[in-house]
Structure 1
Amino acid sequence: MSVSLYYRACREGPLTEAERAGIERTVQAHLASFPYDDEESLYLYTDVRSEPDEILAGSTKMPSDPSRLLPVIEHVLGSLTELRRAVPDAAWGVHLDDVDVPWDEEEGYALPGMRDEGLIAELGDL
């Protein structure tokens, strides 16, 4: 059974050129620093829009290896935090299958315990 992270942003107006450039910079930086070549990374859909006002959408399949799960989630959520800040006036939705990922103005997107060093070490031992 696979778990995926889904993300989208909606608003009435289209992306500006500056927003598109910011998104492209974020995506390229994400891809360059992603820790695993053999795992799915940040993936933005190019042609599929589920809502008329959808300006950005994508998904990432999570790794089945528990030792890779938190690093991938943290990396992708960090990139989504940057994307949200590049397009702040959109209505954003980020969820891990049916669970909403909370937004915090200071921290950005994070799951409870995601930055807990003890939990990360424990998962790394699996």
Structure 2
Amino acid sequence: MKEYLTKVKELYEQHMDENQLVKLPQDEAIDFLAEELDLMIDFRLGNEKDNIDVEYLKTCQATMLNQKYKIDNEFINNTISAKEYAEIINNLMLEFIQKSANKIGKENFKKLFEFDPDNDIKIIDSNILENMGGI
């Protein structure tokens, strides 16, 4: 665990200035999250990592994030509602979950992400987002 946390800390230090919050450019953020996913796979799956297609997971994650950034901008620019935003983002996450679980298997997915891919996951509640007045 200590080795994993040290590697994650080093990864963050490479990309973030500790004295200020830095917004990474989209491509750099996606690469950064891919590196973090790789570390998490090493830590949680160990030798089983050799039995899964890590590049496929990174590609799925990158596709989801690229679509998310596009939808974020639409929401920020008020071209979609909070309800539409929540629905699209939740569907992107669901698609990522389903593709990942189908590719690496349900048990490996549970070990990696620490939840059952059959669970109904909503990362954004449109009612809460609407009540907050959006972003």
TM bucket by the smaller chain? 0.3 to 0.5
Larger Rg, first or second structure (1 or 2): 2
Q: Which has the higher helix share?
A: 2
Greater fraction strand: 1
TM-score (norm. length: structure 1): 0.38
TM-score, reference length from structure 2? 0.36
Higher relative contact order (CA 8 A, sep 6+): 1
